[in-house]
Structure 1
Amino acid sequence: MDIKLVGRGEYDRATEIKAFDDTKAGVKGLVDVGTVNVPKIFIRPPNEQTQFATCHPPNMQIPVIDLHGIDDSDDLRKQIVDEVRIASKTWGFFQVVNHGVPVSVLEDMIHGVIKLNEQDLDAKKVWYSRDRAKTVRFNSNYDLYHARAANWRDTLSCTRPAVDDPKQLPSVCRDETIEYTKHVINLGDQLFGLLSEALGLKLDHLKEMGCAKNYTCVCHYYPACPEPELTMGSSKHSDPSFLTILLQDQIGGLQILRDNQWVNVNPISGGLVVNIGDFLQVMSNDKFQSVQHRVLANRIGPRVSIACFFIGQTRTDQPDKSYGPIKELISKDNPPLYRDFLISEYHGKFVSQGLDEKPAFHHFKL
């Protein structure tokens, strides 16, 4: 494999991006050939590195919610609903433990993503694509051609139709993906029920609105970075989803923006990170918060994370569905803050800009 990226002097960004993309080797390809300096297409502007301080004390942690025994008692369920409400309103993020997904399934999924990324390049190239219509695609930086700076990561994305038809999935991680998504879908249904109740709605309200209808499973592989202070694993962003369930390994690096400070989301063994997406902030009329977050690059690696984005009824379904503030939450004293929009309309805005631009749901504010 021949990767010729110029150093810190002469620089033609468009040419450099295309040269990197044409290798179809991703960031791991740079590491494999012994890159010791981060290419300029990955370097963040200095002000973005210092825009917000990291929160101190560094051991401050997002809420952790224990789901053990949730169906055993009405009082316990009410307590958990209250915890979900507070976390969704004040943090937009929480971690769940005793969620019913076996630790072995979590570990196998992480190992499956590692196997995919560490196989021979020719095997990975088969999946490399920027065609968003594909149900399975592998690439580095979906926004590579219009982001201000590329992120130090490679990604496999697979949508629900691919998981429902496993022959479409890469064989190297097929079984792991099928087993993991099966459990996460069940957990998603449970969480949507808790979130419905936390909004004062009936248990199946959000599910009946189609919030859990479709999902995209995004598997990120963050190679060790020789100069992590110059780049990011993932730029600051909020999620284009109703809800996101994230599995991360034990390396760390995920941070959320709270009160203009970056707060570490420290990994919990066997835990899963849950965060409110942009669509649910709109539907809740700002009762729940979709919070910006990022991932730091790291000298240690690879770091692996798997995000399951619950994205509702999209244009692949018939007909395209409109979403907006839930009418049961609207009153004279609490008027709608957003207009209705199509998920496809939102995604059109989201993919037309870099990951770290203004959150797309802001475009639908009244």
Structure 2
Amino acid sequence: MSPAMALNEQKGKDDIPESQYQKGVKHLCEKGHLNAVPKKYILPVSERPTKSSVEDSNVVKQNLQLPIIDFSELLGPNRPQVLRSLANACQQYGFFQLVNHCISEDVVRSMIDVSGRFFDLPLEERAKYMTTDMRAPVRCGTSFSQTKDTVLCWRDFLKLLCHPLPDLLLHWPASPVDFRKVVATYAEETKHLFLVVMEAILESLGIVEANQEEDDNILKEFENGSQMMVANFYPPCPQPDLTLGMPPHSDYGFLTLLLQDEVEGLQIQHQDKWVTVQPIPNAFVVNVGDHLEIYSNGKYKSVLHRVVANEIKSRVSVASLHSLPFNCTVRPSPKLVDEANPKRYMDTDFGTFLAYVSSTEPNKKDFLESRKVLH
């Protein structure tokens, strides 16, 4: 292709009406074969991913072996040893892979499958759930905020509020026909898994002791806590070095349980380097959220992570984000605050978070930084 033709083709891509971007990146791909990334998705040079560590000293070429927590060992006589591994993972990495958990391979496989089939639906079906209302029980969209973001993410998403499940189920998509049944089963099972893992994390922090009423209360609050499911679809990208599926961010909430297909894409920042997380079949990637960093008074860290695009394959992932009920206040545990460790974060709630993200473009860990107490 001559330089003039290439310039004209790129100009054509840049002339895409704003309304088309609102319909998602998958829609753009379906409208015609994209040979170039539209301008709206191109990151500034300093924020682009690079193909190798030769090009960028902040990218590690090899994959990262995250700490592996064996759920079955957590429930057995080796629990004290596993709790130490859990504490180390939350302090040093902010992430771990959870294997041998209680959720069947069939439930896991069905969740990935039905998510992919939802994104395969015609745009008209997906468009029923497209809204910019962050409080909507069902929200289909693209990027973080396609109306505010300067550069859009190379991904589409479906966000579902999951608690209380009976009240929300009827708002969920009715297509594919098995969608509600599959996702409801998955939501219930991930909620149970979260509760067991969260109890272990509290114990690893030295907070939970046998039959202490105060500690039982926070676990009871988690039982009635918020749960949001986010199914992500990342189409193949013609120029993956110019854009990102998701930019660097930390997760709101206490814990995120991430299910991913076999396609690599998740990268975390570890020791100031971007490293790729190798998917393990039937495992969950679990990460510390901003609320757990606040609650642990900074002992456990929510870590920046991002998603890189793939030139050849599409990728599907499902994140289950868990926290206290939306009307609760999150604050450092009094048991982790003393003279040697003063309170490091202000109290926060969901309203504060929504007000913050509604007023500014999300960037890295800015919200968490805004809650830090200056000593």
For the residue of structure 1 that corresponds to 2:351, the secondary structure is helix
Question: CA offset at residue 130 of structure 1?
Answer: 1.5
Matches within 5 A, 1:201-350: 201-202=207-208, 204=215, 206-208=218-220, 210=222, 213-314=225-326, 320-350=327-357
Cα distance change of structure 1 residues 161 and 338 upon mapping to structure 2, 3 Å threshold: closer
CA distance in 1, matches of 2:29, 2:37: 10
CA distance in 2, matches of 1:301, 1:10: 25
**Corresponding residue number in structure 2 for 1:155:** 157
Cα distance change of structure 1 residues 230 and 12 upon mapping to structure 2, 3 Å threshold: closer
* 1:283-330 CA distance string (max 9 Å, x none): 10111000000000111332001101113221xxxxx32221110111
CA distance in 1, matches of 2:287, 2:66: 11
Cα distance change of structure 1 residues 333 and 209 upon mapping to structure 2, 3 Å threshold: farther
Matched-pair contact (CA < 8 Å) for 2:144–2:153: no
Q: What are the ranges of 5 or more consecutive residues in structure 1 without an aligned counterpart?
A: 1-5, 315-319
- Which of 59, 64, 68 is the aligned partner of 1:60? 64
2:16 matches 1:27: no
**TM-score between both structures, scaled by the size of structure 1:** 0.89
CA distance in 2, matches of 1:216, 1:7: 40
Question: CA offset at residue 16 of structure 1?
Answer: 4.5
Matches within 5 A, 1:35-54: 35-49=34-48, 53-54=58-59
Cα distance change of structure 1 residues 333 and 212 upon mapping to structure 2, 3 Å threshold: farther
**Corresponding residue number in structure 2 for 1:79:** 81
Give the counterpart letter for 2:331 in structure 1. Answer: G
Matched-pair contact (CA < 8 Å) for 2:225–2:323: yes
CA distance in 1, matches of 2:235, 2:103: 27
Matches within 5 A, 1:86-105: 86-105=88-107
For the residue of structure 1 that corresponds to 2:158, the secondary structure is strand
2:178 matches 1:178: no
Question: CA offset at residue 136 of structure 1?
Answer: 0.8
* 1:236-266 CA distance string (max 9 Å, x none): 0001111111001110110000111011111
CA distance in 2, matches of 1:349, 1:303: 30
For the residue of structure 2 that corresponds to 1:81, the secondary structure is helix
For the residue of structure 1 that corresponds to 2:275, the secondary structure is strand
Matched-pair contact (CA < 8 Å) for 1:65–1:80: yes
Cα distance change of structure 1 residues 290 and 187 upon mapping to structure 2, 3 Å threshold: same
Q: What are the ranges of 5 or more consecutive residues in structure 2 without an aligned counterpart?
A: 1-7, 51-55, 210-214
CA distance in 2, matches of 1:202, 1:48: 41
Matched-pair contact (CA < 8 Å) for 1:16–1:41: no
Question: CA offset at residue 209 of structure 1?
Answer: 5.0
For the residue of structure 2 that corresponds to 1:230, the secondary structure is coil
**TM-score between both structures, scaled by the size of structure 2:** 0.87
Give the counterpart letter for 1:35 in structure 2. Answer: L
For the residue of structure 1 that corresponds to 2:72, the secondary structure is coil
CA distance in 2, matches of 1:252, 1:63: 17
Cα distance change of structure 1 residues 60 and 140 upon mapping to structure 2, 3 Å threshold: closer
The two structures, once aligned, show a CA RMSD in angstroms of 2.2
For the residue of structure 1 that corresponds to 2:118, the secondary structure is helix
Cα distance change of structure 1 residues 9 and 174 upon mapping to structure 2, 3 Å threshold: same
Cα distance change of structure 1 residues 52 and 192 upon mapping to structure 2, 3 Å threshold: farther
Matched-pair contact (CA < 8 Å) for 2:195–2:222: no
CA distance in 2, matches of 1:52, 1:304: 29
Matches within 5 A, 1:132-143: 132-143=134-145
Question: CA offset at residue 357 of structure 1?
Answer: 4.3
Give the counterpart letter for 2:21 in structure 1. Answer: F
Give the counterpart letter for 1:363 in structure 2. Answer: S
Cα distance change of structure 1 residues 154 and 82 upon mapping to structure 2, 3 Å threshold: same
* 1:12-64 CA distance string (max 9 Å, x none): 89x8544421xx3x1111111222211111001111126762224x0331111
Question: CA offset at residue 161 of structure 1?
Answer: 4.2
CA distance in 1, matches of 2:268, 2:358: 22
Cα distance change of structure 1 residues 354 and 52 upon mapping to structure 2, 3 Å threshold: farther
2:193 matches 1:187: yes
Question: CA offset at residue 365 of structure 1?
Answer: 0.9
Matched-pair contact (CA < 8 Å) for 2:162–2:187: no
For the residue of structure 1 that corresponds to 2:106, the secondary structure is helix
Question: CA offset at residue 354 of structure 1?
Answer: 2.6
